[in-house]
Structure 1
Amino acid sequence: MVDQRPFGRTGVRISSLTLGAMNFGQRGNPDHEDGIRIIHRALDEGINAIDTADVYSNGESEEIVGKAVAGGRRDDVFLATKFHGQVGDNPQHRGNSRRWIVRSVENSLRRLGTDWIDLYQAHRPEPDTDFDETLPANAATLTAVDELATLADEGGLSLIHLAIAFVLEHPAVTSAIIGPRTLAHLESQLGAAKVTLSEDVLDRIDAIVPPGTTLNPADAGYQPPSLTDPAGRRRGGSPPRVAGPAR
């Protein structure tokens, strides 16, 4: 079962893995019943947090999530969704204005089939990036991925588990969002919550991609100091740990 952590100072505890619902709907997996099965599998494994957005498949993701948590499951789920991106063809159906937020939250509540949303977030826009900057950035990303894959192999881990475990090591991170499109994707990600990484492995990851580095500008978004300051990137007070599944 996935463990739970305090969600900041809210008094709420959520699972260390959050089910991201971006891949549910026409832009990912259009099969509603399959999406519901994936969500139910995640809930059965102890994941109690689901993250979606109004813009994911133009609201279809929210509809699938709503169906999955109906029938008595909603009370046990920490449900997060977002606004900002354009929904549909109308350019007025977007943004962070009070007018659009009010309309957007009403639409999300209707699609989710619920009376409340536990976490309502503003989606930040992606920065514009020149194509000439993207090509070398992609090459640098592929090089880093190859080196990280080698490191994962040395520790007997999949690259997916290494990546998620690395995210969960950060003291500012309560829950890592995973975004499966299929049940097989979900199964491959669930075990990551039980993986711990040694200080040596963390140092080697930092050597491949130094803290605060964005290899591809297209991947950049809002980066709070708690994530960019190298000094604050590890959980304090923990004994030395070894790479591999927890025993």
Structure 2
Amino acid sequence: MQARARPAGAVPLRRDRAGRHRLRAARRHRRRGGNRCPGRAPGRPVRHRGAENAAKPAAADALAVLAEEAGLTLVQLALAFVLEHPAVTSAIIGPRTFEQLESQLGADKVRLSRDVLDRIDEIVPPGVDLSARDAGYTPAVLTDASLRRRTA
């Protein structure tokens, strides 16, 4: 029996009794004993919990308070912060609803004061990873504060 030629990246699909396509690999995996992450229900996403990740919710709460004090939503604060960086030419947004889109569109007109930018840097210092899993390359712009501000 000769194997069928498939284009690169093609995934072999198979129809089940109800006529739905199923990945053959997923079926083989279930037959062999199932769950790739023991102790976790099948299909449940991995959540990173614990002391190592506790700094992220605390930082998010502090940033939400700062956004409220500045009269902005947290999304507007985040987008304005990204657009304030001199190396950023555009910010990619990903709204799923029209309401989310409307709330994000005004962020390009928001200008953050130096005080707000400095408070953001106090809450989440540049170049500091809140979790060891987030560590990676550290560009020079994170170590030199003058590179993080647009010239007036």
TM-score over 0.5 for the alignment?
yes
- Residues 135-175 of structure 1 show CA distances to partners (whole Å, capped at 9, x for unaligned) of 32431000011111111111111011011101111111111
Compute the displacement of 1:230 (Å): 3.5
Identity %: 61
Letter in 1 for 2:76: H
Compute the displacement of 1:220 (Å): 4.6
- Match of residue 143 from structure 2: 229
Tell me if structure 2 keeps the 8 A contact 1:134–1:217.
no
CA RMSD of aligned residues (A): 2.4
Q: Distance in 1 between matches of 2:74 and 2:144?
A: 22
Q: Distance in 2 between matches of 1:135 and 1:224?
A: 28
Secondary structure at 2:59 match in 1: helix
Give the number of aligned pairs.
109
C-alpha distance 233-134 of structure 1, shift in aligned 2 (>3 A): farther
**TM-score for both structures, normalised by structure 2:** 0.62
Aligned equivalent of 1:206, options 121, 124, 128: 121
Answering whether residue 82 of structure 2 is matched by residue 167 of structure 1, we say yes
Structure number with greater Rg is 2
Going by fraction, where is strand more abundant, 1 or 2? 1
**TM-score for both structures, normalised by structure 1:** 0.40
Unaligned residue ranges in structure 1 (runs of 5+)? 1-86, 91-130, 239-247
Matches within 5 A, 1:82-161: 89=11, 135-161=50-76
